[in-house]
Amino acid sequence: MKKRYYLFAVFAVLILALAGCGKKAGQEQGEAAKEETAKLSEAEAEAAEGSLVEMEKPTPTTVAAAPAEEIQNEMGTKTQTASQVVLINQTGSEIADIFIRPALPAGEDSDEWGDEQTGHRFVLANGDKAVYYYDGSRKDEEGQVITSYDIRVSYSDVDRNECFFRRLPLTVMKELRLCMDGTGEDSIPYARYLTSTGSREYSTLEEVKKRLGLLDSEDQEEPEPTPTPAETAGTPTPTPAVTPDHNEDANAGDGDADDVRIKQAESFIGQSLSSLESSLGAADSSEYVDEPETGMTGYHYYGSFTVSTFMDGDEEVVGGIW
């Protein structure tokens, strides 16, 4: 009996031992499975995160271009109320010095240009940009807001002549390109610009050529017949006019009075033609030419000076006086 009890006890101990080993093994297997699952989850999470990062990587089409405010080359005095225009060198050579002054009245000239604008802090290679800050409300001695400016540039190549850009309506511009037509000594400096309110580019090339007397009558388009009032609504159309002999007109009347009228006309650069006509009256004659680069351009002849205009939307705006 004792022997049977002893065998039963031994058998029970073995069962408990086996049960204990099985529980421990099960726990170890469960923990191993959890670790494996955790490792798998971490790998899956890393893979998912990698896919997300790859999707969010910027492509060349999503990189924004630098705004004008980030242009490093600055001229003038930057204030909260300052007006600004971006100048771009497209003359073909490196510009070393830039001078900017209010435009002189027609027929006058002066060697006085004021301070050099870059301060010799930088040069403008061909294609480079600079921002010019200026007082857009600056007035002349007669209390008129200055709207027309002259620009003079000199080059790093001392053998190259200086260039002059005359009577630019700076106050209506947001971007001004200084350009050259032709090469060598016969090249002509002119400007191309965007107005503050539009995206259309205007050119002063034809105006400069006319001022220099480089355009013959054969180079100009023939005026069209006189339009009716209904036809003139919106975009102006050419009116028949015989181009006056401006040399003869320059001798007529009082020279001082002409200078006063020219200065008055210059104060309207950047403003509507109708506002100029309200002050000075209508021109003696006018013509309109559809220029390839600037579109419809008006030329209004006032005796000893000419007013050029361009279209900004539906409004005819004074672009220059010479």
Question: Which of 144, 169, 199 is the C-terminal boundary of a domain?
Answer: 199
Is residue 80 located within the same domain as residue 46?
no
Identify whether residues 74 and 58 lie together within a single domain: no
Say whether both 259 and 177 belong to one domain. Answer: no
Residue 216 pLDDT: 64
Residue 246 in any domain: the answer is yes
Q: 3-state SS string over the chain?
A: CHHHHHHHHHHHHHHHHHHHHHHHHHHHHHHHHHHHHHHHHHHHHHHHHHHHHHHHCCCHHHCCCCCHHHCCCEEECCCCCCEEEEEEEECCCCEEEEEEEECCCCCCCCCCCCCCCCCCCCCECCCCEEEEEECCCCECCCCCECCCEEEEEEECCCCCCCEEEEEECHHHEEEEEEEEECCHHHCEEEEEEEECCCCCEEECHHHHHHHCCCCCHHHCCCCCCCCCHHHHCCCCCCCCCCCCCHHHHHHCCCHHHHHHHHHHHHCCCCCEHHHHHHHHCCCCEEEEEEECCCEEEEEEEECCEEEEEEEECCEEEEEEEC
Q: So what's the pLDDT on residue 4?
A: 53
pLDDT for the residue numbered 295: 73
Range of the domain at 183: 68-199
Q: Assess whether 186 and 247 both reside in one domain.
A: no
Domain stops at, among 34, 62, 90: 62
Q: Are residues 80 and 182 in the same domain?
A: yes
CATH number at residue 78: 2.60.40.2890
Same domain, 12 and 28: yes
Domain tally for the chain? 3
Task: Kindly state whether residue 226 falls inside one of the protein's structural domains.
Answer: yes
The pLDDT value given to residue 24: 44
Does 74 share its domain with 92? yes
Residues 55 and 104 in one domain: no
Say if residue 192 is in the same domain as residue 91: yes
Do residues 42 and 80 share a domain?
no
Asked whether residue 57 falls in the same domain as residue 31, the answer is: yes
pLDDT at 54: 35
Residue 212 maps to a domain:
no
End residue of a domain, out of 44, 62, 80: 62
Residue 284 within any structural domain of the chain: yes
Write out the chain's pLDDT in tens, 322 residues: 544 555 455 455 444 444 444 344 445 555 555 555 555 455 454 444 443 333 333 333 333 334 556 799 999 999 999 999 999 999 999 999 999 999 988 778 899 999 999 999 999 999 999 999 999 999 988 898 999 999 999 999 999 999 999 999 999 999 999 999 988 778 899 999 998 877 778 899 988 988 888 876 555 544 434 333 333 333 343 433 333 343 433 344 455 677 778 878 888 888 888 888 877 888 877 878 777 666 788 888 887 778 888 887 778 888 888 7
Is the residue at 122 inside a domain?
yes
In a domain, 51, yes or no: yes
Q: Is residue 210 part of a domain?
A: no
How high is the pLDDT of residue 211? Answer: 83
In a domain, 205, yes or no: no
Regarding whether 237 and 192 lie in a shared domain, the answer is no
